[in-house]
Structure formats: C-alpha cells, structure tokens
C-alpha cells in the first residue's frame, strides 16, 4: 500500500475511527474530549459524509421532511480530532492501514470500527434493482422524489419490523393519496405486549395502511412483488426495510466475524482476533449474558463511549473493563402525532409499562433529537456520556476478562 497520507507523526499514538454514525460519533467525541490535553494521541474520524446522518429520522427524509443540518467537522472543532471525509475501501489489519476511495492511506495504532449496517438488499432477487431503501440520506431522498411524483398508486413496504412500521405510517400520513401496504413475516410490534400491539395496529389502520403479516416476499419485479406461494401483488413503489447487512470490509481484512459479518468482540469490545481493533454499534457482534446485542442507537452510543474509555485506560496501562448494557425501551413513531413506546427489561423483553399517542410521540421525538445534544455535552464534559443502563443482574458476569 502507498503511504501518501499519514495521520500524525511516528511518535503519536494514532486512533482512527471508521464511521461517524451514532456509535462512531460517540467514540470520537468521547475520546477526543478525554485526550484533549494529552500529548501524543491523534484522533481521526473517517466518514462518507460531512453531515451527520440521523438514521432514526430517515423515514422523515423519505417523505420530504427537512432535517436540521448537523456538521461533523463543526462538532469536532476545538477537540483536536481530525475529520477525514472519504469512503473506506479496504482495511489491512496486519499493516494497520485503511485505504480510502481517493487512494489515501491512513495508518493507525488503534482502530475503532463503526461502519454500521444497512437493510439487506441482497437476500431477495430484484430488491437491489427495483426497490427503494432507507440506507442513506441519498436513498431516502430518491424515495421522497418518487413518492412526490406518484400522485396515486400502491406503495409496498417490505419488512414488518420497526423500520417498516415507521416507514409505512410516515408515508401514509404524508401521502394520503397513496395506497400503502405493509408486508412481512411477523405481525407489526410482535415483541410488544398486546395493548401496545393493538394501539400500533389501530394507528396503522387509521392511517390507511393495509397490513399483511405471515407473508414472505420472494422476488421484486418492475411494478410488482411476488410472494411465497406464487401470489403477485402490483406495486408502483417498493420500499425495502427487511434484514440487515454489514460492510464486507472486516471479513475481507481477516478479522474474526460471525455468520452475519459482524466483528466478534471480547467483553471490552476489542476484536477477538485483532485486539488493536475495537468494534462498535451495528457492525459489532457484542455478547451479553442475555445474548448477542441487536443493532440499535440506544445500545450503539454506549458501545462508542465504552470503546473510547477503554482506549484511554489502555494508553494509561490500565486493565479494560467489560462492556455491559441493558435495553430499556422500544420507541416506534406512527406518523408525527402518534407513537408507541414499549419499555423493556434489560434483555429487551417487554415490561408492562408503555406509552401510546401524543405522549409517546413526544417521547420518541425527544429520543430522536437527543444524540446530537449528547455529543455536545460530552465534548465539554466527557463523563456526561458515560451513563446508560448496565443491565443489572441481566448482564452481571462473574468471570469478566
Ligand atoms: C428508519 C430507521 C429508524 C430507526 N429507528 C431507531 C430507533 O428508534 N431506535 C434505535 O435504537 N434504533 C433505530 N434504528 C436503528 C439505528 O439507526 C441503528 O442501529 C444505528 O444507526 C446504528 O448506529 P451505527 O453508528 O452503528 O451505524 P450508522 O448510524 O449506520 O453509521 C454508520 C456510518 O458509517 C458510514 N459508513 C458506512 N460505510 C462506510 C464506508 N465504507 N466508508 C465511510 N463511511 C462509511 C455511514 O455513512 C454512517 O455515517 C433505526 C433505523 C432506521 C433505518
């Protein structure tokens, strides 16, 4: 690999963070704020865009709603961290280098890998060619343009998980002229208690969303979708929200990954095969005593903060602490004025507590707005980001490494 671009000097400990999503951003701000006065630590954050992508709101972008401009370089100002805009195309875990699409090569001593995940467009034939996704702002804007031009017709949302529900509700609310169908294997809100599920269902009905659960889309064609069993349903637009897929870069670099390509970590969030690589957010397979965490913002931000704190401890020669996290809620928007919030046990099973209606919509809005202000607080006071539910007895381990 060429070395046209070097970050830092040979003497500096170079920490390169890949991906400025919810997790990578938390890692970068937390680390930069903690090492601010420390000579010899260089923090570099690499991301495809300068603007922070509020993934939690991409269904709003997809219906033409304008979101606030959030500049990553501006947020990093004054922290000493460097921002590099670029698309990561390769990782060499032995040479400890990262290659970008313009052939720049960044050298690291410690890497934080937070490249996130996207909806899986490869599993079902035709999705890649004919379906829209919420995988990036650009994808969501393309969908918004198409929906705005449609005038009438049917929108099929493939995938009845929470992103599918939020997308179907938002499209139906913003485009009452369209006929929205939500298709998926599971009933919407399947993991929630019956009262919450019932509210979710009646809200979708009120918005005019037709729900068909227990079905599987096996093919997307121009103008239709094919279901298992042979039925074909006409569709002017297909929105794909089902499944998740991670970047192949980690596996290609020889890092130990699980069957879905996520980096397998030790309790401190280091790669089990390459301990100089920390994995955070959706790109990491992080085991807790209740199982492997699934990708969320609520869990992703703490992973970033923990990785940053672990790196600082390692630089001081201190032992790493195990990462512990317990889920606490599942908020789901149902358009702009309604929502459900299912409070959960740390293992993500539902509690009896919940919110619905306007209070839930307010709660969901507060949750969606909170990451950016949390980063701002962390920049001034890193400890402000170090609070999250550790999961109590659900995550307590006797034999933590
Ligand atoms: C519509 C929608 C609603 C959601 N609602 C919720 C919710 O209410 N609550 C919740 O907890 N979770 C929700 N999620 C899930 C949540 O958004 C993810 O779990 C979260 O974004 C994961 O954070 P991350 O930092 O791991 O990855 P991401 O936020 O996806 O960030 C990854 C970053 O890496 C960049 N990147 C990727 N590949 C490269 C590359 N090769 N080179 C350079 N940069 C790259 C991306 O551009 C991005 O900036 C929702 C998701 C969607 C799509």
Predicted model pTM: 0.95
Please tell me the predicted confidence (pLDDT) of residue 1. 38
Mean pLDDT in consecutive groups of 10 residues from the start of the chain, 401 residues: 43 94 97 84 97 97 96 95 97 98 97 97 96 97 97 96 97 98 96 98 98 97 96 98 96 97 97 98 97 95 97 94 97 98 97 98 97 95 87 75 43
Tell me which of 28, 56, 86, 133 to substitute to probe ligand 1's pocket, judged by most ligand atoms within 8 Å of the beta carbon: 56
The C-alpha atoms of residue 134 and residue 118 are separated, in whole angstroms, by 8
Tokens 């707005």, residue? 369
Tell me which of 65, 72, 116, 286 to substitute to probe ligand 1's pocket, judged by most ligand atoms within 8 Å of the beta carbon: 116
Q: Under a CB-based contact definition with an 8 Å cutoff, are residues 217 and 227 in contact?
A: yes
Task: Quote the longest CA-to-CA distance of the chain.
Answer: 65
């Amino acid at each position: 690999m060429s070395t046209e671009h070097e970050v830092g000097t040979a003497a500096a400990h170079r920490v390169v963070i890949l991906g400025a999503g919810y997790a990578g951003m938390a890692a970068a701000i937390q680390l930069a704020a903690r090492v601010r006065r420390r000579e010899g630590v260089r923090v570099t954050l690499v991301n495809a865009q300068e603007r922070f992508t509020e993934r939690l709101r991409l269904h709003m972008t997809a219906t033409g709603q304008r979101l606030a401009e959030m500049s990553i370089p501006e947020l990093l100002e004054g922290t000493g961290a460097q921002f590099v805009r670029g698309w990561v195309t390769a990782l060499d875990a032995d040479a400890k280098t990262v290659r970008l699409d313009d052939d720049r090569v960044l050298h690291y001593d410690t890497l934080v890998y937070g490249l996130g995940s996207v909806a899986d467009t490869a599993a079902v034939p035709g999705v890649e060619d004919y379906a829209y996704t919420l995988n990036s702002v650009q994808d969501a804007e393309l969908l918004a343009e198409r929906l705005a031009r449609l005038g009438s017709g049917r929108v099929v949302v493939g995938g009845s998980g929470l992103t599918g529900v939020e997308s179907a509700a938002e499209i139906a609310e913003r485009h009452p002229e369209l006929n929205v169908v939500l298709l998926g294997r599971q009933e919407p809100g399947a993991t929630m208690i019956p009262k919450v599920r019932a509210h979710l269902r009646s809200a979708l009905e009120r918005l005019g969303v037709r729900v068909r659960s227990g079905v599987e889309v096996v093919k997307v064609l121009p103008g239709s979708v094919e279901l298992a069993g042979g039925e074909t349903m006409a569709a002017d637009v297909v929105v794909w929200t089902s499944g998740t897929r991670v970047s192949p870069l980690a596996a290609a670099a020889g890092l130990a990954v699980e069957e879905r390509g996520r980096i397998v970590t030790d309790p401190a969030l280091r790669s089990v095969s390459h301990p100089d690589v920390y994995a955070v957010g959706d790109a990491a397979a992080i085991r807790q005593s209740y199982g492997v965490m699934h990708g969320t913002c609520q869990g992703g931000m703490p992973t970033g903060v923990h990785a940053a704190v672990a790196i600082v401890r390692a630089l001081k020669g201190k032992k790493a602490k195990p990462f512990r996290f317990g889920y606490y809620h599942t908020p789901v928007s149902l358009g702009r004025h309604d929502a459900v919030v299912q409070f959960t046990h740390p293992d993500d099973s539902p509690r009896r507590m919940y919110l619905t209606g306007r209070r839930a919509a307010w709660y969901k809005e507060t949750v969606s707005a909170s990451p950016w202000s949390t980063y701002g607080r962390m920049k001034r006071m890193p400890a402000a980001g170090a609070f999250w539910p550790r999961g109590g007895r659900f995550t307590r381990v006797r034999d933590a490494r």
